[in-house]
Amino acid sequence: MKWEIVVGLETHAQLSTQSKIFSGAATAFGAAPNAQACAVDVALPGVLPVLNRGAVERAIRFGLAVGATINRRSVFARKNYFYPDLPKGYQISQYELPVVAGGAVRVPLKDGEKTVRLVRAHLEEDAGKSLHEDFHGLSGIDLNRAGTPLLEIVSEPDLRGAQEAVAYAKTLHSLVRYLDICDGNMQEGSFRCDANVSVRPHGATELGTRCEIKNLNSFRFLEKAIEYEAARQIAIIEDGGSIAQETRLFDSERGETRSMRSKEEAHDYRYFPDPDLLPLEIPDAWLDGVRASLPELPDAKRARFVSEYGIPPYDAAVLTSSRELAAYFEETVSELPAEPKLSANWVMGEVSGHLNRDGLEIGGSPVSSTALAGLLRRVADGTISGKIAKDVFEAMWAGEGDADAIIDAKGLRQISDSGELERIADAIIAANPGQVAEYRGGRDKLFAFFVGQVMKQTQGKANPAQVNEILRKKLAP
């Protein structure tokens, strides 16, 4: 039997406010345990929450970007459950009346584009964190995260398999960074997903029983967890068993999910409106002001790159994967307007490759967009070949100077003197009569041999286009 994997994601984006959603405590990462937890966060008797306007504004920005309905009146509710790191015994969240309702995200896939519908995006506070490693036989509680503002973005179960889920999560990750509402730092927990996974026979319309995998904080873990969980469910069903609805954790070391607890339904949380918080009212002027402040969004930027620079849609999708990378590309092209494709190739190739190798973001690139444009200008005017340019780039990355200085210091200027190249070609042809006869006899692959010999003799500095032209003439039967 063929099976279909159905996935819905609940994504928690930590909003980029300086203070928490209901208190003035700081949200900075890395502080000593409980150094950033005030009386509101630790739920001392008599304290009252005060809503952070900045968190609401960031939620509105997201809602407008995904074409959602911004509810002019939304309500905060108490979600009741017991965790040691949830000092109030309830979480302030939104349920029936969230600030953002509906909307959709367009996800680029290898074979086209898919629209993933959103159920809602609601504001809520994060819980604290239990610490187990530093206490033998005991657990510690760190409430620095308690009250950190989150936007929980809930998708419909529109995703089919792990790769689509990862593509959706990456699109969402890019979008919240474009909007400057979340730093997207997955290592610090600023962007994490819960994956609801179920399987059903191909062609079936009824959803299978789902299991929720909690707190996936890397795209690789998200993919592995969904793949494992789907395979686990299929194996159980094919053996005659049934799936228990439950919450599961992903063990990244073993590459498997394991049961955490039975899955609660909404009524188990006994939601009710928080009496300490008034309903949230969003007037027209506030909404219009936020709308006017929105930046160019990824979809629009992608389309503009294709029309304005004439680069393929795939290139445009890669280059707009982050606002910072897109800006780097546009800065390069602004200094080299005749070479958008050359610029695109280098930003996607050498620049991105070196960033990945060294674990850097584009903002930390040792080669600025201006310096890269300087290098590509020398490729475009024929001063150096593309192959030599890669060596020059490596030297630039190592801090040896700009392109012109490196080219001069290492004597890398391309040999474009046709007379000199013809003399070299003649000598190579004379020294290899056997290969010449074979080539002229129909063994076309030997042409690369002659090109290679010229490049070897010139230490890679011969103009490749001229070498090809000269050799074709001289080797012609």
pLDDT per residue, tens digit, the chain (477 aa), is: 899 999 999 999 999 999 999 999 999 998 999 999 999 999 999 999 999 999 999 999 999 999 999 999 999 999 998 888 899 999 999 999 999 999 999 998 888 889 999 999 999 999 999 888 777 888 899 999 999 999 999 999 999 999 999 999 999 999 999 999 999 999 999 999 999 999 999 999 999 999 999 999 999 999 999 999 999 999 999 999 999 999 999 999 999 999 987 766 777 888 999 999 999 999 999 999 999 999 999 989 999 999 999 999 889 989 998 999 999 999 999 999 999 999 999 999 999 999 999 999 999 999 999 999 999 999 998 888 888 899 999 999 999 999 999 998 988 888 878 888 889 999 999 999 998 999 888 888 889 999 999 888 888 888 888 888 999 998 887
Cβ–Cβ < 8 Å for 198, 208? yes
- Alpha-helical (H) ranges within 293-339 are 298-309, 313-319, 323-335
The position carrying tokens 């290098």 is: 375
Tally the residues of the chain: 477
Q: Residue 80 carries which side chain, given as an amino acid letter?
A: N
Cβ–Cβ < 8 Å for 191, 148? no
Handedness of CA 59, 63, 69, 72 (dihedral sign): positive
Cβ–Cβ < 8 Å for 246, 259? yes
Q: Return the closest-CA partner of residue 23 out of 140, 122, 144.
A: 144
List of residues 6+ apart from 86 with CB closer than 8 A:
127, 128, 146
* DSSP symbol at 393: H
Cβ–Cβ < 8 Å for 64, 101? no
